[in-house]
Chain A
Amino acid sequence: MVDKKKEFIELNKLTLVISSKNKKLFPLQGVNFSIPHNTKVALVGESGSGKSLTAASIIGMLPSNAEIIEGNILMNGSNIVNLSEKDFQQIRGKEISIIFQNPKESLNPIISVGKQIAEVIRVHEKLSRRESINKAIKSLELLGIPSPSKRFEDFPHQYSGGMAQRAALAMAMACRPALLIADEPTSGLDATLQQQVLELLSNQVQDQKSSLLLITHDISVVGATCDQVAVMYGGRIMEFGDTKTILNNPINPYTIKLIESFRRSKNRSMTSIPGSVKPLVDKLKCCPFAPRCYKAEKDCNNQLPSLSFVKKRYVACSNL
């Protein structure tokens, strides 16, 4: 990418196959993008784009029937694709943390919230029990949870949705990871709460000088939260670069239409992209968006466009 030394995480031509009984799917098709240090990056895509699997690859949480058949993932220059589960356990929580859409996926239902956070701290920072409990209470307080010493004792089901997501975030940030992956952390939360949680996420990451990878289908949360955005479709990165540059002046037709769909229409019809996403049953031979693209020309159905640096961002399109 731009400056190889600066990138914390780099994905190069990452290709994934998922095998089941008699079917194969190729949900990631040569994914190229990177996450610099101390930067907030959004990976935006709709259903079937491959965004969650991209996140899962980075943190070694791919399903057992998934295999990376091409490409690599570099963390500070070293390839982490073939690390063992044991190695990933050292990384998870410490270097790379993750929170999910449903906070209950991050929290053990039968252990008190505080205890879970304290345990993560104790294991990774090798502190005493007392010290880790104090640190856990402190982290709950930092995340805006009222009466943190009391809430320490409560169980996840005693937390409301918004509170539980804060607790999950507290746990994820407890060991100051270099990268926080947030996989649809606010989907399903109501608009006013989304705003609060996203701000919290952003502030936490900024305070700790970590990087953030925000996985989302909602391009409208990106503007206020992330420095960079990557737009994904059909297992490929379509456009990638500075958020304001892309949101104000998108080039890839999919990005253009996606942004249009998220804006309020002032007339009696709503922007949409015709057709629907087709499952990726083979390696791509042409642009995955071509069948639905308003700008598609002959070349678009014959070649698979690569990312090139145009107008201050990376974009993949045969018809620029």
Chain B
Amino acid sequence: MSGKIAENYLLEVKTLNKVFEIRDAALRKRNIKAVDGVSFEIKNKETFAIVGESGSGKSTIGRILLGLTDKTEGQIFFDGKPLQILNNKDSIPLRRRLQIVFQDPTSSFDPRMSILDSLFEFLDLRQGINNDDKFRLAKELVLEVGLDPEMVYRKPSEMSGGQLQRLNIARALASSPDLIFLDEPTSSLDVSIRGQIVNLLLEKQEKYGITFLLVAHDLRVVAVMADRVAVMYLGQFVEICDKDKIFSNPLHPYTRGLIQAARIDDLGLIKKNNIVRLSGELKEEDIKSKGCRLTSRCPFYESKCNIKQDIIELRPSQWVRCWKALKVENSISNQMINK
């Protein structure tokens, strides 16, 4: 995608496609391209965030990576080697190096087992540890994520969402992974405690040199954790750039609309001019569009938008899928000047 020689990339994804076959309400078979031509690279120890609303396809990317679903087309390279479907014997060493933390804090723990027993199961992924070591490691992991080691004897139902999510992180750390896919790790938690989990993740990333692929729709989490951000809409990346640029100078109209609607800088107190308001809502049928998929909602739409749009490096390290992006930027700053 970039034409550069691959540097220290831990993960490389090239033109990833994923088509789901579904039956609609009338029981007709339909193909939905949930991931369409997605390409990106993640450097070692970096945090790459994919931002998008539900229905954008962002979770599907991570699930393909983890081998939870197979790709339809495209190539994935992990540490320079092609990543195959992770359900055969050869892939066990690889499985250890890639981990996942899900959105639902209860999802990784068997409700009938104590936390300790669950952790034992996860520790089995590391070879050559006897039971005594497992016990010690389990308690260390729990301490590591800021919890009282005595909690290991409890069952999941006796823990809060935040505590369980810490344990999910402990579980992901158990195999000393190189990369962790964080799939909306804080979305099920109250906003005032999201920071506990975010700060914990950052601490562990620093300590162990872990690479994160973060999928999130909470821009506050992205603002603190990400190095680079990709914005996704209906299966395609529409913008990729450094984190700061996303907030200070986004170029794609969708990114602009998203940042503007998020109210995370002024809590909606300042009456904004709403220059970039996206109308309507995300519609699955827009996936069929030959050109830009935002046409039914974009305030800057013109007929040229109906042709296929490629994602282009409009500014250094800022990739945008919109032929009109720079024109839009110009007209917006003119409008500001004329006020």
Asked if B220 and A269 make an inter-chain contact with CB atoms under 8 angstroms apart, the answer reads no
In the assembled complex, the Cα of A114 lies from the Cα of B123 at a distance in Å of 57
Q: Does A285 interact with chain B (Cβ within 8 Å)? A: no
- Pick from B162, B195, B269, B283: contact of A276, CB under 8 Å: B162
Q: Does A244 count as interface, using CB distance less than 8 angstroms?
A: yes
**Residue from the list A191, A218, A247, A269 in contact with B53, Cβ < 8 A:** A191
Sorted nearest first, the 7 A-B pairs with minimum C-beta distance are A272-B195, A223-B268, A270-B195, A224-B268, A190-B53, A191-B261, A46-B190
Report chain B residues within 8 Å CB of A225.
268
C-alpha gap A42/B121 in the complex (Å) = 46
Question: Which B positions have Cβ atoms within 8 angstroms of A?
Answer: 25, 53-54, 160, 162-163, 190-196, 198-199, 202, 217, 219-221, 223-224, 247, 257-258, 261-269, 271, 277-283, 297
C-alpha gap A192/B221 in the complex (Å):
18
Query: Which secondary structure dominates chain A's binding surface?
Result: helix
Q: Does A130 contact B (CB under 8 A)?
A: no
Q: 23 A-B residue contacts at CB 8 Å?
A: A46-B191, A162-B281, A192-B257, A192-B258, A195-B261, A217-B190, A219-B267, A223-B266, A224-B263, A224-B268, A244-B269, A248-B269, A259-B267, A262-B267, A263-B220, A263-B265, A264-B265, A265-B220, A269-B224, A270-B195, A271-B195, A272-B196, A276-B193
Residues of A within 8 A of B163 (CB): 276
| Residue of A with least CB distance to B265 | A264
A264-B247, A276-B163 known; A220-B195 Cβ under 8 A: no
Docked complex Cα distance between A21 and B291 (Å)? 60
- The answer to the question of A221 belonging to the interface, with a C-beta cut-off of 8 Å to chain B, is yes
- Render A235-271 as a binary contact track against B, CB cut-off 8 A, 1 for contact: 0000000001001100000000111011111111111
Spell out A's residues near B (CB within 8 Å).
Answer: 46-47, 157, 160-162, 190-196, 217-225, 244, 247-248, 257-259, 261-274, 276-277
Query: Which of A263, A269, A273 is the one whose CB lies under 8 Å from B264?
Result: A263
The answer to whether B199 and A269 touch across the interface, beta carbons within 8 angstroms, is yes
**CB-defined contacts of A161 to chain B, threshold 8 Å:** 281
Q: Is the CB of B247 within 8 A of A157?
A: no
CA distance in complex: A267, B190 (Å): 21
Contact B220 A221, beta carbon cutoff 8 Å? no
Query: Is B220 a contact partner of A262 (Cβ separation < 8 A)?
Result: yes
What is the distance, in angstroms, from B325's C-beta to the closest C-beta of chain A? 18
State the CA gap A131–B247 with chains docked (Å). Answer: 51
A272 B268 Cβ-Cβ under 8 A: no
Give the residues in chain A near B268, CB-CB below 8 Å.
Answer: 220-225
Q: Which of B192, B258, B264 contacts A264 (CB 8 A)?
A: B264
Chain B residues positioned under 8 Å from A267 (CB to CB)? 224
- Which residues of B have CB within 8 Å of A223? 263, 266-269
Q: Nearest chain B CB to A65's CB is how many angstroms away? A: 20
Residue of A nearest to B56 (CB): A190
CB atoms of B25 and A160 under 8 A apart = no
In the assembled complex, the CB of B248 is this many whole angstroms from the nearest CB of chain A, namely: 11
C-alpha gap A258/B195 in the complex (Å): 11
- In the complex, how many angstroms separate the beta carbon of B316 from the nearest chain A beta carbon? 23
| Contact for B221 among A160, A190, A194, A270, CB less than 8 A | A270
Specify the chain B residue showing the minimal Cβ separation from A163.
Answer: B281
Decide: B263 and A269 in contact? CB cutoff 8 A. Answer: no
List residues of chain B with CB within 8 A of the CB of A277. 160, 190
Given contacts A217-B190, A262-B264, 11 further A-B contacts (CB under 8 A): A47-B190, A191-B258, A191-B262, A193-B281, A196-B279, A223-B269, A261-B192, A264-B247, A268-B202, A270-B195, A272-B195
Report B-chain residues with C-beta under 8 Å of the C-beta of A191.
53, 217, 258, 261-262
Q: Is the CB of A264 within 8 A of B220?
A: yes
Distance A190 CA – B269 CA, assembled complex (angstroms): 20
Q: How far is the CB of B236 from chain A (nearest CB, A)?
A: 16
B40 to chain A, nearest CB (A): 22
User: Smallest distance from the beta carbon of A21 to chain B beta carbons, Å?
Assistant: 16
Min CB distance A98 to B, Å, is 23
Give Cα distance in the complex from A267 to B225, angstroms.
10
CB distance from A54 to the nearest CB of B (A): 18
How far apart sit A248 and B262, CA to CA, in the bound complex (Å)?
A: 18
Q: Which of A157, A196, A247, A273 contacts B25 (CB 8 A)?
A: A157
Across the two chains, which residue of chain A brings its CB closest to B193?
Answer: A272
- Given A190-B53, A223-B268, A46–B192 Cβ distance below 8 Å? yes
Q: Enumerate chain A residues within 8 angstroms of B267, measured Cβ to Cβ.
A: 219-220, 222-223, 247, 259, 262-263
- A17-B179 Cα distance, complex, nearest whole Å: 47
Contact present for A160 and B224 (CB under 8 Å): no
- Chain A residues with Cβ below 8 Å from B269 are 223-224, 244, 247-248
**Cβ–Cβ contact B194 & A272, under 8 A:** yes
Least CB distance, B284 to chain A, in whole angstroms: 9
In the assembled complex, the Cα of A147 lies from the Cα of B288 at a distance in Å of 23
Q: Given the complex of chains A and B, what is the CA–CA distance between A274 and B267 in angstroms? A: 22
> Which of A217, A222, A274 interacts with B191 by CB under 8 Å?
A217
* A residues near B281, Cβ cutoff 8 Å: 160-162, 190, 192-193
Q: Contact check, B190 vs A269: say whether CB atoms are below 8 A apart.
A: no
Contacts of A258 in B (CB 8 A): 191-192
In the complex, residue of chain A having the shortest beta-carbon distance to the beta carbon of B191: A261
Give the shortest distance, in Å, between A133 (CB) and chain B (any CB).
Answer: 26
Instruction: Give the nearest-CB partner of A194 in chain B.
Output: B261
What separation, in Å, do the CA atoms of A47 and B282 have in the docked complex? 28
Best-buried of B54, B190, B247, B277 by chain A (most CB within 10 Å): B190
How many whole Å from A243's CB to the nearest CB in chain B? 8
Distance from B225 Cβ to chain A, minimum over Cβ atoms (Å): 8
State how many angstroms separate the Cβ of B263 from the closest Cβ of chain A: 4
